[in-house]
Amino acid sequence: MRHVWYERQRDQSMPSSARGKRLTTIVNNGCTSDHHHFCALGAVALKVQLDEALSKTGFFSAVSNDRPDFKLTVILTKTSDDALLIFYDDINAAAKFELADNTGKVVFAGIASGNSSKPDEALKKLATDITAKMKP
Q: How far apart are CA 27 and CA 116, in angstroms?
A: 20
- State the Cα angle at 92 between 88 and 96, rounded to 5°: 160
Q: Give the C-alpha separation, 92 to 59, whole Å.
A: 27
pLDDT greater than 50 at residue 83: no
Give residue 88's pLDDT band: very low, low, confident or very high (50, 70, 90): low
Mean pLDDT, rounded, of the chain: 83
Say whether 128 sits in a helix, a strand or coil. helix
Q: Give the whole-angstrom CA distance, residue 136 versus residue 132.
A: 9
What's the mean pLDDT in 105-109?
94
What pTM, to 2 d.p., does this model score? Answer: 0.83
Cβ(130)–Cβ(51) under 8 Å?
A: no
Q: What is the mean pLDDT of residues 89-114?
A: 91
The number of beta carbons lying within 10 Å of the beta carbon of residue 84 is 10
Q: Which domains does the chain have, with CATH numbers?
A: 6-133 (3.40.50.10610)
CA 104 to chain CA centroid, nearest Å: 17
Q: How far apart are CA 63 and CA 51, in angstroms?
A: 6
Residue 48 near residue 41, CB atoms below 8 Å: no
- The phi and psi torsions of 124 (rounded to 5 degrees) equal -65, -40
Average pLDDT over residues 56-82: 89
